[in-house]
Amino acid sequence: MAKENNNSDALITTILAGIEDVKGKDIKILDLREIENTVCDYFIICEGNSNTQVNAIVNSVQKKVSKTLKDHPWHVEGSENAEWVLMDYVNVVVHVFQKHIRQYYDIEGLWGDAKTTVIETSY
């Protein structure tokens, strides 16, 4: 189990670096491990200003994870309209939103029991 946590930690760190490289905003990590019947251990949620920036965040995360950890998402969906792109790395699921879509679906509210970490950015 400890090895799995190390893998998740490395993956989370790499995903965050990918988001920050292209100035993704309002980044949060939701720790779902204490909640029953969840599909993964962590959600990473962030947003971009436009479909162009959402796609840039997705591409940056994929490149950084591929290069650093030799890992690829198991599944990616939503790239066509780039309002909400979901990247499934099995234990970690990344949600990249445009602001209005994020507000509408309110994933943070739906998973209100999760321990939430807000990532401070300097940009």
CA 4 to chain centre: 18
Domain architecture of the chain: domains with CATH: 2-119 (3.30.460.10)
In the predicted model, is pLDDT for residue 32 greater than 60?
A: yes
Residue 16, judged by CB atoms within 10 A of its CB (0-12, 13-18, 19+), counts as buried
Determine the pLDDT at residue 4. Answer: 57
The Cα 36–Cα 20 span in angstroms is: 31
Determine the pLDDT at residue 1. Answer: 42
Tell me what the mean pLDDT of segment 70-93 comes to: 96
Per-residue model confidence as pLDDT tens digits over 52-77: 999 999 999 999 999 999 999 999 99
Q: What is the mean pLDDT of the chain?
A: 94
Tell me what the mean pLDDT of segment 17-25 comes to: 98
Confidence of residue 5 (pLDDT cuts 50, 70, 90): low
Cα distances from 88 to residues 32, 109, 123, in angstroms, run 15, 20, 27
The Cα 19–Cα 22 span in angstroms is: 6
